[in-house]
Amino acid sequence: MIKYIFIDESCHLEKDRASVMCIGFIKVQENAYEQIKQDLTAVKRAHRVFEEVKWSGFSKSRLPLYKDFVDYFFSSSLEFKCILVKYKERLKEIDLSRGSHENFYYKMIEFLLASNSFKNEYKVFLDVINSRGRDRINKIRESLTANLNNQPFLSFQHLHSHHNIFFEIADLFIGAIAYSARKQVDGLPQNLVKNEFISYLEKASGYSLSEGTELWETKFNIIDHQPKQRQQ
């Protein structure tokens, strides 16, 4: 069986004044891709939303749409997985990936992809962020090739997020998880509308977004990682 993986990230830059970062993906079966895409597009149209949905554009008027996305996700065959990194400023204090924040980013992508079942084959899609996209894909492919005996990944490709609705779902979930953690770690001010959505997603998933899920969860999986401070 072939599955598509759509990867997105939040607060992944080294100096963006956030103490957390979140990288994750939406996974969809190839044979269900078109139908689910049509269903999600229909959900947007029902709310008279025709432009790209992003966490950065979160608004009270769209809260019913966001909740419908959650309901659809948990009733569908879609899967979500992410790694939530707290206290990312510690990365420069420890010997991770040769001390490079950029290499740590690649390490997290590799970890997420390598943790998938090898019973399937995958086509991986990443959101276009900057002109260095091809370099990013090459490094991820090289790392996986070097560290995995079996290669279930058929292809890696960049797409613009506004060209694919699965990036929108990934962005919404990742944004909510990063925001929930930042309230705890960075002391972000409360936003009642965002809090309402987070509570809705937590009730649907059965987990607190800022604390992660059980490791064996397959439907909605959050890996809570906190880089450790080493003794001097």
pLDDT, greater one: 81 or 130:
81
Residue 200, Cβ neighbours under 10 Å: how many? 16
What are the tens digits of pLDDT across the range 111-139? 888 877 667 899 999 887 654 667 778 87
CA distance 186 to 193: 19
E strand segments, the chain = 2-10, 20-29, 79-86, 121-127, 153-159, 220-225
Check residue 131 and give its pLDDT. Answer: 46
Q: Identify the weakest region by mean pLDDT among 22-36, 105-119, 201-215.
A: 105-119
**Euclidean distance between CA atoms 81 and 24, whole angstroms:** 5
pLDDT (tens digit, 9 = 90+) per residue, 148-183?
777 788 888 888 777 799 999 999 999 999 999 988
pLDDT for the residue 144: 78
Residues 6+ apart with CB under 8 A from 20: 11, 84, 85, 86, 87, 88, 178, 181, 182, 185, 186
Compute CA 165 distance to the chain's CA centroid, rounded to the nearest angstrom. 14
Confidence of residue 230 (pLDDT cuts 50, 70, 90): low
Domains of the chain: 2-225 (3.30.420.10)
227 — pLDDT class (breaks 50, 70, 90): low
Helix boundaries (H) for 14-115: 33-46, 63-75, 101-114
pLDDT of residue 93: 53
Tens-digit pLDDT profile for residues 32-65: 999 999 999 999 999 999 999 999 999 999 999 9
* pTM metric for this prediction: 0.89
Task: Give the other-Cβ count within 10 Å of 12's Cβ.
Answer: 23
Judge whether residue 29 has pLDDT over 80: yes
CA angle (133 as vertex; 124, 70 as ends), nearest 5: 45
User: For residue 78, what pLDDT is reported?
Assistant: 98
pLDDT surpasses 90 at 79: yes
DSSP state of 230: P
Q: What is the pLDDT of residue 140?
A: 81
- Cα 144 to chain centroid distance, Å, stands at 19
pLDDT value, residue 95: 42
User: Is the pLDDT score of 194 beyond 70?
Assistant: yes
pLDDT at 138: 81
